[in-house]
Each structure stands twice: as C-alpha cells, then as structure tokens.
Structure 1
Amino acid sequence: MRHILLLGLCLLAAPAFAQNCPPAGHTKASLEALKAQQFALPDAGAKRQLADALLGCLSDPNPDLRDGIAYEALAHWMRAGDFDAPALRTLRDKLYRSLDGEDKTGFSKPFAALVLSEVARTDRIGPWMTPQERAAMTERAADYVESVRDYRGYIEGEGWRHGVAHGADWLMQLSLNPALERAQYRRILAAIAAQVVPRSHAYVFGEPERLAKPLLFTAKRGLLSDADWAAWFAALPPKVGKLDRADYAGWLARRHDLLAFLTGLYLQADQSEDAAIKALKPTIMAALKQMQ
C-alpha cells in the first residue's frame, strides 16, 4: 500500500508533459529542417502527435528549440486551423497543468501562457469552447498574469522568458473575443492592474505596451461604464506611493512603469479612430495628473 501511495504522489507531481526535447525520433537538425519546410506534415495524426511532444520543448533552455521551433510550430498549426476541438482541448489542458507545475528555469510557464494565447485565438476565429470553458480560461489567464514574479525578459544566450508580456498576449486574445461578457472583461482589467506597477521592477522590454493592448480592446467592446473606467484608472497612481528615500529606486521604478503605461495609452487613445477608445483620454489624463 505504501508503494502504491508513493507512486500516486509521484504521478501527481509529474510534469504535465514529458520534458524530452528534441522529442523521441527527432533531432534538432530534423526539427530545423521541418521548420524550413514551414512545418508541413501531411499526416494529421503525426502532426498532432508531434504537437503534443513539442510541449516538452517549451521549457527547454535552448531558445532555438523552445521559441524558434516549439512555439512557432504550435502557433503555425493552430493559425492554419490544423487541429479540431478535441485536439485543442488536449493541448489546452496539458498547458494548464504546466502552469500549475514547477518551473525551475523560468521558461515553462511563460511559454505555456504564450501558446495558450494561440489556443485562445483559435476559439475567437472559430468558436469551440463552451461559455464555461471560456470563462474558466479567462480566470486562468488572469490568475497567471497576477502570479508572475519573475520579471526577466531577454537574456543573451538564454532568450526570452517575458512572463508579463506573454500573459498580456493571452489576455489580449481573450479580450478580442466577442463572446466574452462584462464580468470577464473586469477580470482582465484586474489582472492588468496587478502588473502595471510591480513593486520594485522597471520594465525595459515593452511590457507596458503589451499590457495596454488588452485594455484597449476591452474599451472597444464598450461594456464598461465611464464610472468603471474612472475608478479603475484612479486606483493606479496610489500604487506608486509617496517618495520614500529608503526605497528611492523602487519608487522611481514604479513611477517609470506607470508613466510608460499611461502615456502610451494616451497616445493610442489620441490616435484611435474608435470612439470608445478615444473616450478614455480624459480619464487617462486625470490619472497622469494624479502623479504630478
């Protein structure tokens, strides 16, 4: 009995997918050759099998395998409409388990989120999720964005982690989906607000711009009231806090991040031809004035 219990615990602790990369039967060279052929695989079953196997490469320390092959192949096949709903559900659920697991190198979760943004896109292009599944994915995406504490972006020789940006991409694909409801947009905004002003990190890899995109598409839907927007923006400046000489670097980082987010948003709203987005300008300006 003790051995059975230990085996059960080991299975529960096991990763969502095998970490073999390249997958069995493949080499880095063969995968690069497949990439050169634009990931063309005539056999649908072989393509689905390889897609499952490539999930293990999303945590690989080699950016050529992780980003240049695994992510690109999965995104290419999904954008080509190569997977049916059962295959997409399988990919989605394995990626969810990856988000719930350990991530010792810091690659697995950000790249699971990035691939999940492509899964979300497939549902926008051709709906296949139930309303309950879509709401659950929105909650998953928001939870992931709020959970990010590893703010590493690009490191030479290691490539990208970019957890906040990849999570923002997932939120963006969801925010573009006309099937989302008001409550889900509010959840997306709560997640954005949680990362606009991290405690003591200055964004340098375009994160404020990426966080702004799902907000702009949320505004475009027009499901939130002026009062909703006023309250949301008014809550941002207090996150910077008062100048404290004991935490001067942290205060500067927070101020830098919020200014980058708000000024970028203001420019987007000013140049937009969409009335709902343009209507954000006074509210954004009010938040900027709170920082003076």
Structure 2
Amino acid sequence: MDALALKQKLQQIDSANLSAHEVEHPYELALHMMQHIGSPDPVLRDELIYVTFATWIGQGVFSEEQLSHLLHMALDDQHLFHGIGEQGTDSVFTRTFSVLLLPPILSVDRQRPFLKKEEIEVIHHRLTTYLEREKDVRGYVDDKGWAHAPAHAADAVEDLAQSPYMKQVALRELLHALTVKITESSVVYIHDEDQRIAHAVVTILRRNLLEQNDISSWIDSLNPNDKTEGKSLLEISQMSLNVRVFLQTLYLAIRTEDVEPFPAVRSFILQALEKK
C-alpha cells in the first residue's frame, strides 16, 4: 500500500470513528504503517500512524506474538537505525517514530508480561546504541513536524527502566547513554528535551538500585569542562547551557521527593551547579 492509499485508509477509519475491532485485518494494516512510519508527511506519520499504533496497542488489538514482531521491526536496521548518523535528512523520522513505538509496547508488557528477559536485553542494547549514535537532534522541522530524537528516545528509556529485568548495571548504562544527549553541543534544546530526559532519569533513580557513588559519578560526568576538546566556543557554550538547564529541570522534578535516593541526588546536583 502506498503512502497516499494508507493515509486515505487511516483517515476513513478516523472520520468514521471506527474501533480497531471494526477494522478488517488490523495487523496487516499495521505492517503497512510500519512501511511508512517515517513519512515526511506529519499528518500521516504523527497524527495517523503513530496515534493509531498507540491507540490500538493500548486497546489490546494485537496478540502478544504480533506485538513482539512489531517491536523487533521497530528495533531493526531498517527502522531504528535507518540512515543512522545522517543529519538534516528525512531518515530521522523513521528512527524517531520507530523508537516511539517502544513505550506503548512496554506499557502492555508491564500490565501483562509477555516479553522474555532476552527480548528486554535486546531492547536495552539497541536503545542505548541508538542514543549514542543518533546525530540528528532537531526538534520541530518546518513543514514536516516533529523529529525530536532526544525526547522520543528518553520516553523509551523511561518505560524500559521500569522493567524488572533492568537491574543496577543496565540502569547505569541507560544513564550513561542519556549523557550523550544531555551534553549535546550542536544546538541548544528549545523543545522540552530537558523535561523528557529528566523524567526518564527520575524513573531510573526511583528504582533505587543504584549506589550513591554511581549517581554522583554520573552527574560529575556531565561536566562540560571535561568535554571541550575539539569543540568551538559556540559548541562549548551550547553544551554548557544544555547541561545546566537539564540539571535545573532534574532538581525541580525531585525537589519534593523524600524517599531514597532523592535527597542525596539533590545535593549532588547543587554541587554540580555550583561548579559551573
């Protein structure tokens, strides 16, 4: 099914207010949606394909086997890593909307576990690798809508961190993968990336599986002064601003949290901010 036919089909479903159970062969339609998940048309990609996926997954339309297949498609080289390393091209939409399928699928897994430990470990590996390799950090793209790689990936981290299979080492690796996006130097974030990443970090910390030394070392690793080699003054300034705004946002997000490890984390954040 080409993009125009798919768009018309999804618009018909939407305008008729049909439930997924009234749609013939929803899984076959989902496979067509996967083919066009990175369409540069924001209506097709975001308002139709993504919203339909999120709604149908939440409504339990797909079997566990079908969800697992969709998950592995989203993580494959033709989706999550399609054109990885490119900047300023439309390939970013395939990557960022593939990663955005992880939260609704992981949400289903929390409600009725169906993913095996090995599958969660694959998600962890692919997601951390993606965070480290994604170079296109544009937020909103004129005429094409949201790309928003840091925010979408952070949403996936937030859901993955809640898996009981994510233990101390895995959670620490998630934090360090987020570091790459927190210390971005090519742009100043202006589309709430700091909030989305902070939410993911809070979820990781709330598991309370990390040692205080893990957390303090991670916060220390955000110090822009240790990452200036080969960067221009503009890049250093942008990175410093991104880090400072993130730390301030994280502090505000946990300011009323009294359970461990949050009191100590607040202290670590203040110490880091005082160094800047």
Q: TM-score, normalized by length of structure 1?
A: 0.85
Report what 2:28 is aligned to.
Answer: 49
Equivalent residues of 1:240, 1:251 under 8 A apart: no
- Aligned residue for 1:201, secondary structure, equals coil
Superposition deviation, residue 43 in structure 1: 5.4
- Correspondences of 1:57-72 after superposition (within 5 Å): 57-72=36-51
- Aligned residue for 2:163, secondary structure, equals coil
Superposition deviation, residue 189 in structure 1: 0.6
Matched, 1:165 2:146: no
CA offset digits 1:190-228 (Å, max 9, x no partner): 111111111332111111111111110111111001111
**Alpha-carbon distance in structure 2 between the residues aligned to 1:125 and 1:152:** 33
Which has more radius of gyration? 1
Report what 2:96 is aligned to.
Answer: 110
Runs of 5+ unmatched residues, structure 2: none
**Alpha-carbon distance in structure 1 between the residues aligned to 2:160 and 2:17:** 27
State the AA in 1 paired with 2:233.
Answer: Y
- Correspondences of 1:1-292 after superposition (within 5 Å): 20-22=2-4, 26=5, 28-38=7-17, 40-42=19-21, 46-97=25-76, 98-102=79-83, 104-105=89-90, 106-238=92-224, 241=227, 247-291=232-276
Q: TM-score, normalized by length of structure 2?
A: 0.89
Superposition deviation, residue 37 in structure 1: 4.6
- Aligned residue for 1:100, secondary structure, equals coil
The count of residues paired between Structure 1 and Structure 2 equals 269
State the AA in 2 paired with 1:69.
Answer: L
State the AA in 2 paired with 1:204.
Answer: I
Q: Percent identity of the aligned residues?
A: 24
Equivalent residues of 2:224, 2:239 under 8 A apart: no
Equivalent residues of 2:184, 2:239 under 8 A apart: yes
Equivalent residues of 1:212, 1:261 under 8 A apart: yes
Equivalent residues of 1:269, 1:279 under 8 A apart: no
- Aligned residue for 2:40, secondary structure, equals coil
- Aligned residue for 2:100, secondary structure, equals helix
**Alpha-carbon distance in structure 2 between the residues aligned to 1:74 and 1:253:** 35
